[in-house]
Amino acid sequence: ILNVEQSPQSLHVQEGDSTNFTCSFPSSNFYALHWYRWETAKSPEALFVMTLNGDEKKKGRISATLNTKEGYSYLYIKGSQPEDSATYLCALNNNAGNMLTFGGGTRLMVKP
């Protein structure tokens, strides 16, 4: 059974603050790491799919890095806005299919 861990569980920041969260996973049998944003009453929204060690991806104010050798990924949000408030999930894909093992998520609340 894979163990994907995310920290912190929740985070309260002020508008304009930059923040980051961590996703840790077993470094063996790695295939891909996914980041999702999940807003209340909506579907989880795909942010990034990362496959290569050292990968860095960026989408607007959000970026992510990946270290497969040590088994972690960081998600960064620069200049947080209230609309960034959501749960951020990482998920590990360890085979060629589409089975994802999710972490518990980091719930971000951005205060105006």
Q: Of 11-70, which residues contact another protein (CB under 8 A)?
A: 32, 34, 36, 42-46, 49, 51
Helices then strands (H, E): number in the chain? 0, 11
Q: Of 71-90, which residues contact another protein (CB under 8 A)?
A: 89
* CB distance 27 to 71 below 8 Å: yes
In this structure, the number of other CB atoms found within 10 A of the CB of residue 28 comes to: 9
Closest contact distance (angstroms) between CB of 96 and another protein is 9
Q: Which is nearer to another protein, 97 or 112 (CB)?
A: 97
Which residues does residue 101 pair with via DSSP β-bridges, in sequence order? 92
Locus of tokens 């088994």: 71
100 near another protein (CB under 8 A)? yes
Q: What are phi and psi of 93, to 5 degrees?
A: -115, 115
99 near another protein (CB under 8 A)? yes
Nearest residue to 21 (alpha-carbon basis) of 63, 59, 61, 56: 63
105 near another protein (CB under 8 A)? yes
Closest contact distance (angstroms) between CB of 34 and another protein is 5
**Residue ranges that bind another protein, judged by CB under 8 A:** 1, 32, 34, 36, 42-46, 49, 51, 89, 91, 95, 97-105
